[in-house]
């Protein structure tokens, strides 16, 4: 694996060029450019806020429900677009890898990195909204922010490597992935908060309280929960019945960091195992 990493380092110039290409090409022929990255999550948040504010009284219990959803929607959008893009990434470069030698992992990596840059820019927009427009206080827990961003990058990159390699051999993977991603919008604490699952639901009580642990084991759940708690103040206590709003939990974040790192290593290992078979797929 060390040799593979050395080879990757030798080709870092190409990695950078491919990231630049992705960033340039994505919105090259559109007038609004980067706005197309931030527009879909904003529109989704607006619709979710509409539904929960006017169809239920749920949203009214938050100081600003839109901010609560948006802080989760940004990591979710990054996760979703990066994984979906990666599923097609190798096949889009198939003509090149059949004709030129290059470390194949550069392709999903450049994809993950260019999406990561969009992710960072989206946070910038969010911070302007949160601290500039809403005038929310900057919490001390914000020091967790760089850690959370890094862990999510590891998670997304690991899964990108896995999905991109699998999709070369089984093109069903991209369909499976897009269906799963559609479902996770509801399974992850995006429109609601984790305390509602832990205290209010049967899932939280299931198996003597282990249901809640299992729910929190998903690194992305822990990350979204972490982003929310690092950046936003607690909501009105009425939101949670039968429990309290939990503070940011370092243990859960460290666990998701370890899990994400394991996923990255596994994804890289699997990719390297299969990468020479890409050009020979029957």
Judged by beta carbon, residue 16 or residue 210, the one nearer other proteins is 16
> CA nearest 278: which of 83, 19, 105?
105
- Which residue, 24 or 236, is less far from other proteins as judged by CB? 24
Least distance to other proteins, CB of residue 162, Å: 15
List interacting residues with other proteins (CB under 8 A).
11, 13-14, 16-18, 21, 24-25, 28-29, 93, 95-102, 169-173, 276, 279-282
- Give the tokens for residue 100: 């030129």
Three-point CA angle 186, 189, 190, nearest 5°: 75
What does the block give as tokens for 102? 């290059």
Closer of 84 and 134 to other proteins (Cβ): 84
Q: How far is the CB of 95 from other proteins (least distance, A)?
A: 6
Between 63 and 277, name the residue whose CB sits nearer to other proteins. 277
In 3D space, the residue among 110, 95, 116, 119 whose CA is nearest the CA of residue 164 turns out to be 110
Cα gap 195→189, rounded to integer Å: 9
Identify the residue whose tokens are 């209010």. Answer: 200
From the CB of 186, what's the least distance to other proteins, in Å?
Answer: 25
Taking the least distance from each CB to other proteins, the nearer of 14 and 149 is 14
**CB of residue 14 vs other proteins: minimum separation in angstroms?**
4
Return the percent helix, strand and coil in the chain, to nearest 5.
80, 0, 20
Dihedral over Cα of 180, 182, 187, 189: its sign: positive
CB of 40 to other proteins, least distance (A): 21
């Amino acid at each position: 694996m060390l040799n593979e990493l050395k080879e990757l380092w030798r080709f870092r110039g190409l990695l950078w060029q491919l990231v630049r290409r992705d960033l340039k090409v994505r919105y090259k022929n559109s007038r609004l450019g980067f706005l197309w990255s931030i527009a879909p999550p904003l529109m989704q948040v607006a619709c979710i806020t509409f539904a929960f504010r006017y169809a239920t009284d749920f949203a009214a219990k938050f100081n600003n429900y839109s901010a609560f959803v948006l802080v989760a929607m940004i990591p979710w959008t990054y996760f979703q677009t990066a994984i979906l893009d990666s599923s097609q990434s190798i096949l889009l470069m198939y003509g090149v890898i059949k004709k030129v030698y290059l470390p194949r992992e550069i392709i999903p990596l450049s994809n993950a990195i260019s999406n990561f840059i969009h992710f960072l820019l989206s946070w910038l927009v969010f911070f302007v909204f949160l601290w500039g427009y809403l005038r929310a206080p900057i919490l001390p827990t914000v020091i967790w922010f760089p850690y959370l961003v890094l862990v999510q990058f590891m998670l997304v990159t690991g899964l990108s490597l896995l999905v991109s390699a699998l999709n070369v051999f089984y093109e069903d993977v991209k369909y499976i992935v897009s269906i799963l991603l559609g479902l996770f919008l509801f399974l992850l604490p995006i429109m609601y908060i984790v305390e509602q699952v832990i205290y209010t639901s049967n899932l939280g009580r299931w198996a003597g309280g282990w249901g809640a642990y299992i729910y929190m084991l998903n690194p992305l759940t822990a990350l979204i929960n972490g982003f929310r708690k690092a950046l936003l103040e607690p909501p009105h206590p009425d939101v949670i019945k039968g429990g309290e709003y939990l503070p940011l939990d370092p243990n859960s974040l460290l666990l998701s960091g370890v899990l994400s790192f394991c996923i990255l290593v596994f994804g890289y290992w699997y990719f390297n195992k299969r990468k020479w078979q890409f050009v020979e797929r029957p």
